[in-house]
Amino acid sequence: MGKTVTTTRAQESTNAIERMYITMRHLFNRGFYKPTGVSGEALKNALLLIRPEIYGSLGEEKAELNGLLYVLERLPEGIEQCRFINLTSDEGYGISHIEPIIPPKRRRNCYRIDDEQMNIEITRGRSDIYDILTHLTFLFIESEKICKKILIPESSKTIRDWTKLEDALRRMNWSNPKKR
């Protein structure tokens, strides 16, 4: 007869960290990642298992506003609008016409190349990359939660409350941070 092996929460977290590390090493070699791809899903599942305290109530259905604030203060402004995020070394953007975007709580130069692309200079090696990938994964998890709450199924429309919130923010010029 076989014994039933039960794993503790600590063992599950350790295994999830190992899977996350392996996935990130794979991403280093491949050079890109899609949040909805196989690697993105692996990072998402590992992060949901680990549930780091810095992200708050990550595993719950409600959106974690404190976690979002934490992450948005550490990522460059506008990154959520970009389809392509490149992690690069110093490529000379500092002496170009492109203004650096420096997140309030991280000292790393980021450059908005165009409407779809953001480049982030990596200066501290893998720890920078781990930091950015976990923050982006958290941002993606929370955006999925918000979408499930505000998008009307089978349409591209949003619920009435969301539309009212958008209108109120527009009236306050919230969409333009320089006017705040």
Per domain, the residue ranges of the chain are 9-179
CB burial of residue 63 (10 Å; 0-12, 13-18, 19+): middle
pLDDT computed for residue 174 by the predictor: 60
End-to-end CA distance of the chain: 68
- 132/120 Cα distance (integer angstroms): 9
- pLDDT on residue 102: 94
* Residue 103 confidence (pLDDT): 94
Residue-level pLDDT at 159: 92
Distance between CA atoms of residues 46 and 14, nearest Å: 10
pLDDT along the chain (180 residues), means of 10: 77 88 82 80 89 82 90 92 86 85 91 92 85 91 91 89 89 61
- Phi, psi (deg, nearest 5) at residue 15: -65, -40
Query: Do the beta carbons of residue 17 and residue 123 sit within 8 Å?
Result: no
E-strand stretches of the chain:
84-88, 100-101, 110-112, 117-121
Q: Which residues contact 22 (CB under 8 A, 6 or more apart)?
A: none
Task: Evaluate if pTM is beyond 0.85.
Answer: no
- The b-or-e profile of 72-94 (16+ CB within 10 A means b, else e) is bebbbbebeebeebbbeeeeebe
Query: CA 174 to CA 180: how far, in whole Å?
Result: 7
